[in-house]
Structure 1
Amino acid sequence: MSNFLERSRLERNVINLVNGRFQNYAELSGLSNLAIVRWSEEIDQSSSINFDRLQEIVSILFEVSQRISSDSDSSKHIFINNLFDKNSTIDICLDQLKEKLVF
C-alpha cells in the first residue's frame, strides 16, 4: 500500500470517528485547517457539547492533520514499508480523540 493510500485511510478513519459521534449535528469534511474550523463552528452552534471539550477535540484534530501532512514528507516517522506505524504519535492522538469523543 502506498503512503498516499495509507494517509488517506488514516484521514477517513478520523473523519468517520468524528462524524459517527456528531452525525446529527455537522459533518467533518476533511482534515484541512479550514474544514476543522468550519466543522467546529457548526458543532459549537448546533450541539450541546461543552466548549472546552470541543476545543480539546479540535486541538487533537489539528494535531493529527499536521502530523499526517508533515510526516508525508518524511514518511519514515509514521510509515514503515508503506504501512502505518502503530506506535507513532498519530496513534496516540487517535487514542486521545476516541477518549474525548465519549461523553
Structure 2
Amino acid sequence: MHEVGAVGRGAARAPGRARRRVTARAEETPAKEAKARKGVSATFERGIAALTQHKAREGRVKAPRAHTETLVVDDQEHAVKLGAFLSNAKSRRAKLTEDKLQQLADLGLERAA
C-alpha cells in the first residue's frame, strides 16, 4: 500500500511548479510566431522569384508538382520546390493576402485573381 505523503509516479505535484512551466512556454510563443510569420513571407518571396525565373525561361507558369527550380541569390544556389509552391498557392488562395494574390495574378495565374 502507498503512504499518504508518498512522492512518486502518481503523487500530485506542487501547483506553483506547473504554473511556472506553462508561463515560460507562453512567453516564448510570440517570438516563435513572429519568426514563423517572417519565414512564411521569405518562402513566398522565393516562390515568386522561382516562378518569375521559370516563366522567363519556359514562357508559362505551369510546372509539375515535383518540379524544382534553382535560384541563385548572392552567389548561392537555392532549390525551390516550384511545383509544391504552385499547388500550395492554389489550395491556400483563400488565406492569401490581396498583395500576394496580386503578385501571383501579375505573373499570369488566372486562379489567383
TM-score by length of structure 1 reads: 0.33
Which structure dedicates a bigger proportion of its chain to helix?
1
Which structure dedicates a bigger proportion of its chain to strand?
2
Q: Which has the larger radius of gyration?
A: 2
Higher relative contact order (CA 8 A, sep 6+): 1
TM-score by length of structure 2 reads: 0.31
